[in-house]
């Protein structure tokens, strides 16, 4: 059988660049080299695309860029690439080393803005190349916490009480906005930039002073800010895989050591506990899985997504927190671990994602 040409794209302009490098290295190691001919493209933090042909380990530790640059100098070509929407030659990519490749599937292993938010997906649509994961709409809706909440609310998905403000509005009328928030919410409240990830720019504000600081901080990351009531409870996640008939994994639980699962707790402290699968009553497990699938379909997700919930102390309400269309994907990340305990091994997961990308593409054409 002819090998498939898979283009794996990693890095990117978002604050989650480093997470992408680790996810991509893990995926590249696991991909079956007998089945796939792999072309790797790194996107620098500045947004420059570079063809990368060096060792996988050097992606993870960030040295890939220097190696790509060295190859560029040595071989005397501009180490970049172009995607050509050439009609008949769909999926043809010209690498600036003179080579032209027909790409069968693109695997964008990118998290956050410009990777997970529909922008690069739009580029792939224009190119007419199948790609792993959610399409333009699902990607962008899931990325925008304000829009996602509003859409899911319309469909009756239980969520924390929330509101959305514009940072500009706040700057014009600070007192008015603060008073409105205090009328509607009890402290503590969560303040989040609408379009971010990795807990960047998120604050749990306990009083007016912290609230002001929190809004200023969120405003550095986005023009739109989401305010949420604090949910005291357990953090439960569920992995979903598929296109029209998705399956949901056994859920898992995250037990942060900080007051909430903030950036430090996620990536630096290393003290968070992960319980996979989560210790939940059977009916709760089933309800989480059903809701995860419902949410996935409502947002029109394809490929994969991790759907995150809270289970509220006292009431046991299952509240949706957020949907991640390109969740962390190292071998020990939550998404692969949840799929693993559900019976889908990491290597099989990658094969399935590639097959789902082709299935979706064929159905749309």
Ligand X SMILES: Nc1ncnc2c1ncn2[C@@H]1O[C@H](COP(=O)(O)OP(=O)(O)O)[C@@H](O)[C@H]1O
The residue ranges that bind ligand X (CB under 6 A) are: 160, 190, 192, 196-199, 202, 228, 230-231, 235, 256, 260-261, 308, 321-322
What is the C-alpha separation between 109 and 237, in angstroms, rounded?
20
Nearer to ligand X, 260 or 274 (CB): 260
- Residue appearing with tokens 């399409």: 135
- Minimal distance, residue 323 CB to ligand X, in Å: 10
- Minimal distance, residue 289 CB to ligand X, in Å: 19
Nearer to ligand X, 202 or 318 (CB): 202
What is the C-alpha separation between 204 and 189, in angstroms, rounded?
6
- Minimal distance, residue 202 CB to ligand X, in Å: 5
Nearer to ligand X, 132 or 231 (CB): 231
- Minimal distance, residue 230 CB to ligand X, in Å: 5
- Minimal distance, residue 126 CB to ligand X, in Å: 28
DSSP string over 110-139: --STTTSSSHHHHHHHHHT--BSS--HHHH
Helix (H, G, I), strand (E, B) or coil at 109: coil
Nearer to ligand X, 170 or 190 (CB): 190
For residue 71, count CB atoms less than 10 angstroms from its CB and return exposed for 0-12, middle for 13-18, buried for 19 or more: middle
Q: Which residues sit opposite 239 in a β-bridge?
A: 306
Nearer to ligand X, 232 or 343 (CB): 232
Nearest position to ligand X, beta carbon:
261
Nearer to ligand X, 114 or 260 (CB): 260
Q: Which residues sit opposite 94 in a β-bridge?
A: 82, 100
Residue 305: name the closest of 360, 251, 240 by CA: 240
Nearer to ligand X, 181 or 354 (CB): 181
What is the C-alpha separation between 194 and 148, in angstroms, rounded?
10
Question: Per this entry, what is the length of the chain?
Answer: 365
- Minimal distance, residue 106 CB to ligand X, in Å: 24
Write the secondary structure of 221-277 as one string of H (helix), E (strand) and C (coil): HCCEEEEEECCCEEEEEEEEEECCCCEECCCEEEECCCCCCCHHHHHHHCCCEEECC
Q: Which two tokens stand for residue 131?
A: 């790609």
Nearer to ligand X, 199 or 302 (CB): 199
- Minimal distance, residue 304 CB to ligand X, in Å: 16
DSSP-H helix ranges across the chain: 17-30, 57-60, 64-75, 119-127, 136-143, 145-154, 167-172, 174-184, 208-221, 263, 282-298, 334-341, 346-364
What is the C-alpha separation between 229 and 198, in angstroms, rounded?
19
- Minimal distance, residue 193 CB to ligand X, in Å: 9
Nearer to ligand X, 146 or 303 (CB): 146
- Minimal distance, residue 262 CB to ligand X, in Å: 7
Q: Which two tokens stand for residue 106?
A: 């693109």
């Amino acid at each position: 059988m002819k090998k498939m040409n898979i283009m794996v794209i990693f890095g990117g302009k978002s604050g989650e660049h480093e997470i992408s490098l680790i996810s991509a290295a893990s995926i590249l190691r696991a991909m079956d080299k007998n089945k796939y001919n792999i072309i790797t493209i790194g996107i620098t933090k500045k947004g420059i695309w570079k063809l990368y042909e060096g060792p996988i380990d050097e992606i993870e530790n960030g040295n890939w860029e220097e190696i790509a640059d060295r190859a560029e100098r040595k071989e005397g070509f501009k180490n970049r690439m172009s995607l050509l929407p050439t009609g008949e030659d769909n999926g043809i990519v010209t690498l600036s080393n003179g080579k032209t490749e027909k790409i069968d599937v693109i695997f964008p292993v990118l998290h956050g803005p410009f990777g997970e938010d529909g922008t690069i997906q739009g580029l792939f649509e224009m190119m007419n190349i199948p790609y792993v994961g959610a399409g333009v709409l699902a990607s962008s809706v899931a990325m925008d916490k304000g829009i996602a909440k509003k859409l899911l609310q319309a469909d009756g998905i239980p969520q924390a009480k929330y509101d959305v403000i514009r940072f500009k509005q706040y700057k014009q009328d600070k007192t008015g906005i603060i008073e409105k928030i205090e009328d509607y919410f009890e402290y503590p409240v969560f303040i989040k930039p609408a379009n971010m990830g990795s807990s960047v720019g998120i604050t749990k504000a306990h009083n007016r002073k912290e609230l002001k600081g929190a809004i200023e901080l969120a405003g550095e990351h986005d023009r739109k800010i989401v305010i949420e009531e604090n949910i005291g409870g357990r953090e439960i996640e569920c992995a979903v895989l598929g296109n029209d008939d998705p399956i949901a994994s056994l859920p898992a639980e995250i037990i942060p050591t900080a007051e909430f699962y903030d950036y430090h707790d996620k990536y630096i402290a290393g003290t968070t506990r992960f319980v996979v699968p989560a210790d939940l009553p059977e009916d709760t497990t089933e309800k989480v899985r059903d809701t995860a699938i419902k949410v996935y379909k409502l947002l029109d997700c394809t490929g994969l997504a991790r759907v995150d919930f809270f289970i509220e102390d006292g009431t046991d309400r299952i509240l949706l927190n957020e949907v991640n269309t390109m969740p962390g994907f190292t071998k020990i990340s939550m998404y692969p671990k949840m799929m693993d305990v559900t019976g889908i091994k990491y290597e099989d997961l990658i094969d399935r994602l590639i097959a789902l990308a082709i299935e979706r593409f064929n159905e749309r054409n």
